[in-house]
Amino acid sequence: MQGAMKNHKAIGVAGLGLAILCGAWHLGFARAGVRNSSSHIELKDVSVPMRDGLVLRADVWLPAAEGRFPTLVYRTPYGKHDAPKEWSTFEKLPPRGYAVVIQDVRGRYASDGEFSPYQNEGKDGYDTIEWAARQPWSDGNVGTFGLSYPGAVQWLAAVENPPHLKAMVPAMTFSTPRNFFYSGGLFDGSWLDWVWMNIAPDARKRKNLPGPRTHAEAKAAWKMEHERVEGYLPLRDLPDLKQAAPFYYQWLAHAPSDSWWDWAELRNKYDRVHCAVLNFSGWYDEAYGPDGATTNFNGLLAARKAAKDPATRTIIGPWTHGAQDTQMSGEREFGPTAPVDYDELILRWMDHYLRNMDNGVEKEAPVRVFVMGTNAWREEKAWPLERAHATPLYLGADSPTGRIGKLYWAGEKSATKTTTFASDPAHPIKDSYDAYGAHDYRALAGREDVLVFDSEPMAKDTEVTGPIKAEIYASADVKDFDLWVRLLDVAPDGTAFNLMSPGLDVLRASWRNETTKPELLEPGRIYKLTLDRMLTSNTFLKGHKIRVQLSGAFYPHFSRNLQTGKSEIVSKESRVGRITVHHDSEHASRVIFPIIEK
């Protein structure tokens, strides 16, 4: 943990002038380090009191000139000392006339208290924003920015409606706990390595607990232990994080529909948010990202329908999580126009809404999306696109035992009524790639535990942009199962690229109605399972095929369904199942694509 940086050297003419202007600071200088650079002044470990008396600490960067400045707040669990090393944004802010508050959230690094991810960020964020607005170096106009966890904290604070929050840029973050901690009723397995790598080491250091205490130590231990840790059943009995991360087990104790999660639900609180909001994500971001960027955008529009300037916008590129400066996502190349200047997006948004600069931001199209395949940016008036034509492709097959079926346009019929795949929780389908992004999954076709359905090659370039809905009629010989409906773009050479990261494309059958208690299946009975959270923007080029891939798992991204009717959170016994997909005239399984006509 980085302690306070003591610096008793003279603070220079600009710093002295600022101190005279704001004489109340002199006590703060005695407690916290002060550092000069040619472009800004840094105050280290400044105390920020919370309403419950706890103290959080922040580094404050100020322009070298004297005065009061619009103020940007960045709150992080990853160490305020590391944030400027990881993001170029910070160095650009003071020269542009902004004061910056870089704060460790409660219970992390320099800040006091117990860390419970996300749960304290609403009130703590409110208190920090209002504290910043009261400081003698602030002009009272406050904005927030950040990506991932530093994006989520902005929303949780904004729904508390801090009066001085004027604008925010929450990037690659969520809209609902049902698609964040869980997805489709499954617990998100990525929380495990997030806690292991990012949270547990500092927690062990603070509490003097055994185990890895640095990121390097955690990484080495994960390499040795991840298979055991990821595969441990029941989930709630994993011993490794009991002391370092008790909140992880609290999450497991609450089903996705449990009202306990209401503190993290944004979708019913947009009327509380009165600042300008720039949403930002990528098609290959973690599943909650593009869902959050579109759901939050539309929620704000609905709450602000009477406003002349609704002051919200959404941008979605072809990127993975935090990789908006690259033109590659996994193995897929998107060309030189794919990267964006993330820093400049933040600055232009803040310049307009905090400083009233007439830079044209409010006149720009409310939706900007990158169309993969043709690899071009496009501006739109709304999401979903009003001109999208909902077009179903129906699942079918020539043989009930075949592993590769067909996708039919309306009017065509399948030669068989059903196809079946196996699902074994003890030997789940594993993602062979470690990182998110576009990858070639052609090798999964033909397996006993996978069904694929391919369209005919496209006769012309065919664009799919918008939400995608799958309606799958299925029966099983087990009490429960998970249905993965993955969408892929298959090139003439056989390359099969996924169109999104895992999570939007899965549904637990027992959670089909999003009830608090699972609705178990009657073996043999046919159920309609609807997946309506998938979304993308992709042009299937002439000669390419649309592929729909079905399976009962895609491990280790999400927890495994044991298929016994008992949760993997409390049980470890599993059962092999046979899942039958129906595609007869009465049970027409289909995927509905938003086709954009040229």
Q: What is the pLDDT along the chain (598 residues), one digit of tens a residue?
A: 322 222 322 333 333 333 333 333 433 333 346 777 667 999 999 999 999 999 999 999 999 999 999 999 999 999 999 999 999 999 999 999 999 999 999 999 999 999 999 999 999 999 999 999 999 999 999 999 999 999 999 999 999 999 999 999 999 999 999 999 999 999 999 999 999 999 999 999 999 999 999 999 999 999 999 999 999 999 999 999 999 999 999 999 999 999 999 999 999 999 999 999 999 999 999 999 999 999 999 999 999 999 999 999 999 999 999 999 999 999 999 999 999 999 999 999 999 999 999 999 999 999 999 999 999 999 999 999 999 999 999 999 998 888 999 999 987 889 999 999 999 999 999 999 999 999 999 999 999 999 999 999 999 999 999 999 999 999 999 999 999 999 999 999 999 999 999 999 999 999 999 999 999 999 999 999 999 999 999 999 999 999 999 999 999 999 999 999 999 999 999 999 999 999 999 999 999 999 999 7
Q: 1-143 sits in which CATH class?
A: alpha beta
Exposed / middle / buried, residue 453 (Cβ in 10 Å: 0-12, 13-18, 19+): buried
What contacts 540, CB < 8 A, 6 or more positions away? 373, 458, 461, 462, 463, 464, 489, 546
Please tell me whether residue 202 adopts helix, strand or coil conformation. Answer: helix
CB atoms within 10 A of CB 223: 9
387 neighbors 596 (Cβ within 8 angstroms):
yes
Strand partners, 577: 423
Distance CA 26, CA 140 (A): 21
379 neighbors 365 (Cβ within 8 angstroms):
yes
Q: Where are the domains of the chain?
A: 1-143, 172-182+264-383, 186-255, 389-596
Alpha helix locations (H) across 93-184? 121-134, 149-158
CATH fold match for the domains 172-182+264-383 and 389-596: no
CA 348 vs CA 109, 140, 344, 381: distances in Å: 31, 19, 6, 20
Nearest to 280 by CA among 156, 368, 366, 172: 172
Residue range 172-182+264-383, CATH number: 3.40.50.1820
CB atoms within 10 A of CB 39: 14
Q: What is the pLDDT of residue 24?
A: 37
pTM listed for this prediction: 0.93
457 neighbors 543 (Cβ within 8 angstroms):
yes
Q: What is the pLDDT of residue 19?
A: 38
What contacts 249, CB < 8 A, 6 or more positions away? 236, 241, 242
Strand partners, 408: 394
Please tell me whether residue 551 adopts helix, strand or coil conformation. Answer: strand
Pairing of strands 590-596, 450-454: unpaired
* Helix, strand, coil abundance in the chain, percent, nearest 5: 25, 30, 45
Side chain identity at residue 506, one-letter code: V
418 neighbors 453 (Cβ within 8 angstroms):
no
Residue range 389-596, CATH number: 2.60.120.260
CA 43 vs CA 15, 66, 137, 532: distances in Å: 11, 15, 12, 48
